[in-house]
Structure formats: structure tokens, C-alpha cells
Amino acid sequence: MVPTPFFFAATLLLFSSLVIVAAIDYSQGSESVGKSMPKAKEKPLPIGVEGHILCKSGTSSAVPIQGAVARITCVAVDEFGYETAPFSFSSDATDENGYFFATLTPPEINDKIQLRECKAFLENSPLEACKVPTDVNKGIRGAILNSHRVLDQRKMRLYWVGPFFYT
């Protein structure tokens, strides 16, 4: 049996189709294998800052100040990498143990702004006899927030500072 021109044409057409299908499949496969799927932008975790504010006068031991406030100030960078005006927020008033806690949640920050360096400062003491801030643990210059742990249950990055002292 002698191959006919129809046989050659059919074979050539089938082979060409297989090459085209393989090339299309390969190009689609390489995109999905070589590149990861684009991820949705992850929302940053809320930030929590905790510490203690105490009164140290004379040689007596330090005592907690109830009602004192700390201030947290952050340098922010916009979407183009330029520094913006500092972002600042205050803690809740300290409890009877001098403990304060401050939170900053992502909705309070524009999505296009990224916090870079945050510091905690002494802000206010309600005690007239113990109102002078000290720079112990950088209560005046600002303690940089650099050590944190992630609280899985609260889905928060928790930083700690201090203790800070008034005199």
C-alpha cells in the first residue's frame, strides 16, 4: 500500500495540531507553576503597647501612679516612600498598678501609610507631688518599640516599654 497525498496531509495536520496544543499547554503551565498566585494585600496586625508608670521620690521605693498617660509617636512613610507628619496616639490612663495599654488598629492608619519607627514617651501624671518626668528607660527621649511578640488570640503585635518614672 502506497501512502497517498491525503495521508501525508492528514498526518501533517495532526502533527501540527499536537505541537500547537502542546505549546499552549506548556505556556499556560509554566505561568502557573513558575509564578505564585497574586496574594491579596495582608492587613497589618493591630499594635499594642504596654508598660508601667511609677513615682520615685527620694530614697523611697517606686510606687505606681494611677491615672498617668503615655504617648506613642510613630514616623510614617507614604506609598511613595516619603516621610509624613508623625502619627501620635495616647494610652489609656494607668490602672492602680501603674499599668498602661495603648492600641493602634489598622483602620486608624491609611492603607497607603506604613509605620516605621515608633517611640513611647511619658505624657502626663495626675499627681501634683510626682509630676516631673525622668528619662529613666527613655521616658523623655522616647523608648523605641523594637521588641514584640504576636498574640495569636488577639491577633496583635504587642510591644512593651519601661517602666517609666516621674519624680
What phi-psi label fits residue 155: left (phi over 0), alpha (psi between -120 and 50 degrees) or beta? left
- Secondary structure of 4-32 in the HEC alphabet? CHHHHHHHHHHHHHHHHHHHHHHHHHHHH
Q: What is the domain extent for residue 80?
A: 66-166
Residue-wise pLDDT for 54-113, tens only, equals: 999 877 799 999 999 999 998 888 888 888 888 889 999 999 999 999 998 765 566 677
Task: Say if 30 falls within a structural domain.
Answer: no
Computed over every residue of the chain, the mean pLDDT equals 79
Task: Say if 16 falls within a structural domain.
Answer: no
Residue type present at position 25:
D
Of these ranges, 10-19, 41-50, 63-72, 113-122, the one predicted with the greatest mean pLDDT is 63-72
Residue-wise pLDDT for 27-41, tens only, equals: 444 443 444 444 455
φ, ψ (nearest 5 deg) of residue 158: -105, 120
**93 and 78 Cβ atoms separated by less than 8 Å:** no
Q: How many domains does the chain have?
A: 1
Task: Say if 71 falls within a structural domain.
Answer: yes
Residue type present at position 57:
S
Task: Say if 114 falls within a structural domain.
Answer: yes
Task: Say if 95 falls within a structural domain.
Answer: yes
Task: Say if 3 falls within a structural domain.
Answer: no
Task: Say if 11 falls within a structural domain.
Answer: no
pLDDT of res. 4: 60
Q: Does this model's pTM top 0.85? A: no
